[in-house]
Amino acid sequence: MTRCHVCFRHCELKEGQLGFCGARICIDGKVTASNYGRITSLALDPIEKKPLRRFFPGSNILSVGSYGCNLRCPFCQNSEISWGEEALRFSDTAETITPETLVRIAEKYRSEGNIGIAYTYNEPLIGYEFVRDTAKLAHEKGLKNVMVTNGTAELPVLEELAPYIDAMNIDLKGFTENYYNKVLDGSFEMTKRFIREAAKVCHVELTTLIVPGENDSPEEMRELTSWVAELSDKAGKTIGSDIPLHISRFFPRFHMTDRSATPVKDVYALAEIAREKLNFVYTGNC
Q: What is the DSSP string of 231-261?
A: -B-TTS-B-GGGS-EEEEE---BTTB-SSPP
Q: Which pTM was predicted?
A: 0.96
For the chain, percent of residues with pLDDT exceeding 70:
98
Asked whether residue 86 carries a pLDDT value surpassing 80, the answer given is: no
> Which domains are delineated in the chain?
33-284 (3.20.20.70)
Measure CA of the first residue to CA of the last residue in the chain; give whole Å.
48
The set of residues, in sequence order, having a beta carbon less than 8 Å from that of 252 and lying 6+ positions away, is 75, 258, 259, 260, 261
Residue 233: pLDDT over 80 = yes
- Encode pLDDT of 162-213 as tens digits: 999 999 999 999 999 999 999 999 999 999 999 999 999 999 999 999 999 9
- Amino acid letter for position 161: L
Looking at the predicted structure, is the pLDDT value of residue 54 above 80? yes
Q: Tell me the pLDDT tens digit for each residue of 16-51.
A: 999 999 999 999 999 999 999 999 999 999 999 999
pLDDT at residue 132 tops 70: yes
Write out pLDDT tens, residues 106-131.
999 999 999 999 999 999 999 999 99
Residue 88 has pLDDT above 90, yes or no: no
How far is residue 282's CA from residue 280's CA, in Å, rounded to a whole number? 7
